[in-house]
Amino acid sequence: MPFIPHTEEDISVMLASIGANTIEDLFDEIPPALKNGSLQVLPGLSEMEISRLMLERAETDGRYLNFIGAGAYEHHIPAAVWQITTRGEFYSSYTPYQAEASQGTLQLLYEYQTMMASLTGMDVSNASMYDGASALAEAALMAVRSHKSSRRILMPTTVHPIYRRVVRAIVKNQGIEVVEIPYCAECGHTLVESLAPYAGQDIAALVIPQPNFFGVLEPVDALTDWAHSNNALAIGVVNPMALALLTPPGEWGSTGADIAVGEGQPLGIPLSSGGPYFGFMACKQSLVRQIPGRIIGRTTDLDGKTGFVLTLQAREQHIRRSKATSNICTNQGLMVTAATIYMSLVGPEGLRRIAAQSHANTIALVEQMETLKGVKRIFSGPLFHEAAVTLPTPTDAVLQTLKNQGILAGLNLGEHYPELGNALLVCATETKIAADLEKYVEHLRQALA
């Protein structure tokens, strides 16, 4: 009887108080025809037994030298991040509706909002979304809500291919049209000229990835200005780690992007097969009442003491029901706890150095790869910490060979962009040292020989 503390005596006293003979009597309002107690679940395990099983399974999966990025990035996570995050007071607490009993979580979220607003250069941030992809979908919905006349979103094909699918899955039932914009085959980013066919049309928003899925940097100033001159909002979808180096969305073009979203995983969240991560969303002050999800505000208590509360709740489902800005209620609170502690531990200079080292490692890796015959960077545009590379032989076979040597060599880019042929997307973050890069290149040399 795991996690049930009742003694036989407790049970009999409780049943007597209720006036029932057996626990089964308590289910007497359920029509007998519906009762079905059959379960195929195996008998329960002790903690020792489940530990053994899970250790075996973890060992089956092993550890690899990883060069895959594509939206989820391996960065060093300070030990303190998860030791504090998994303290019971954070780990097992509820959504902070009871503000007086949740000041720890609420203050932390206010600090998080401050950090994210500054990192993105925006006025306000919400307290998180599910992940980067769903945050982009919510940004598209938000743009349509605030635009009023248009239900059309322009989406460059340099945006993460899965993000594009997620956006479509989430917005399609609301009659929103997502138009894809092709990229420049030579430079690997979106050209303002490719937006020309849509100039003067009614458009709710232009999505601008930075860096884009190829790791290439987009001409964000020109794209943002194009959106604004066409009465559309500019939505930046950004890597928060890159923002330690790059111009934040709030400073793009002459007036800045309107909404910034992205995947928060690089900020202290482990890769863990894809989740839980967290999405972030920040925007200009003028859009604050359109933003979905939780927002924390600073206020005072009866004695004038500073405190924190969930605020602007008139946007939310538990108040507005069918008229809410979104159905979202839970966000990714614990992940944000980790990210906030991560950003505090590394600080502004630390984050900049981690980003710079990731940038330098990727460039060093690509330069060494390019010494091999038939291996070449595909695009000429500037890059952050990821690069698209063409290979002389089929990508899958190369990936398989390197995997057998314990190396995850990157993502097969041709799966998402068939026009690129034998292409690989590689990433070397600050976690890689010179010997790792040499090992990668040496095994790649052998695989191509």
Partner 1 sequence: MLIFEHSRPGRRNYSQSPATAAEIRNIPQNLLRKTLPLLPEVSEMDAVRHYTRLSQLNFSIDTQFYPLGSCTMKYNPRVCNSLAMLPQFLARHPLASEDTGQGFLACMYELQEILKDVTGMAGVSLTPMAGAQGEFVGVAMIRAYHEARGDYARTEIIVPDAAHGTNPATAVMCGYKVVEIPTGKEGDVDMAALKAAVGPKTAGLMLTNPSTLGVFEKNIAEMSKIVHQAGGLLYYDGANLNAILGKVKPGDMGFDVIHINLHKTFSTPHGGGGPGSAPVGVAERLLPFMPVPVVAFEQGTYRWLTEKEIPQSIGRLSAHMGNAGVLLRAYIYIRLLGAEGMHRVAEFATLNANYLMVELSKAGFEIAYPTRRASHEFIVTLKDLKEKTGVTAMNVAKRLLDKGYHAPTTYFPMLVPECLLIEPAETESKQTLDAFVASMKEILAEAHAQPEMLKGAPHTTPVRKLDDVKAAREPDLTWKQSS
Looking at the DSSP bridge assignments, the partners of residue 125 are: 282
Given the complex with partner 1, which of 14 and 179 has the nearer CB atom? 14
Given the complex with partner 1, which of 198 and 288 has the nearer CB atom? 288
Contact 139, 269 (CB under 8 A): no
User: Which residues, in sequence order, are CB contacts of 152 under 8 Å at separation 6+?
Assistant: 176, 177, 178, 179, 201, 202, 203, 204
Given the complex with partner 1, which of 231 and 275 has the nearer CB atom? 275
For the CB of residue 50, give the shortest distance to partner 1 in the complex, in Å. Answer: 5
Given the complex with partner 1, which of 18 and 199 has the nearer CB atom? 18
Given the complex with partner 1, which of 295 and 447 has the nearer CB atom? 295
User: Which residues, in sequence order, are CB contacts of 59 under 8 Å at separation 6+?
Assistant: none
Q: How far apart are CA 345 and CA 108, in angstroms?
A: 14
Given the complex with partner 1, which of 197 and 348 has the nearer CB atom? 348
Q: How far apart are CA 93 and CA 85, in angstroms?
A: 11
Q: How far apart are CA 134 and CA 12, in angstroms?
A: 50
Q: Which of 52, 128, 45 is nearest to 294 (CA)?
A: 128
User: Which residues, in sequence order, are CB contacts of 309 under 8 Å at separation 6+?
Assistant: 99, 106, 296, 297, 299
For the CB of residue 164, give the shortest distance to partner 1 in the complex, in Å. Answer: 10
Given the complex with partner 1, which of 325 and 422 has the nearer CB atom? 325
Looking at the DSSP bridge assignments, the partners of residue 156 are: 181
Given the complex with partner 1, which of 372 and 408 has the nearer CB atom? 408
User: Which residues, in sequence order, are CB contacts of 9 under 8 Å at separation 6+?
Assistant: none
For the CB of residue 449, give the shortest distance to partner 1 in the complex, in Å. Answer: 23
Q: Which of 140, 134, 165, 137 is nearest to 152 (CA)?
A: 140
For the CB of residue 235, give the shortest distance to partner 1 in the complex, in Å. Answer: 16
Cα 59 to its chain centre, rounded Å, is 27
For the CB of residue 134, give the shortest distance to partner 1 in the complex, in Å. Answer: 6
352 three-class SS: helix
Token duo for residue 372: 């091999």
For the CB of residue 370, give the shortest distance to partner 1 in the complex, in Å. Answer: 14
Given the complex with partner 1, which of 70 and 203 has the nearer CB atom? 70
For the CB of residue 448, give the shortest distance to partner 1 in the complex, in Å. Answer: 19
Q: How far apart are CA 271 and CA 431, in angstroms?
A: 13
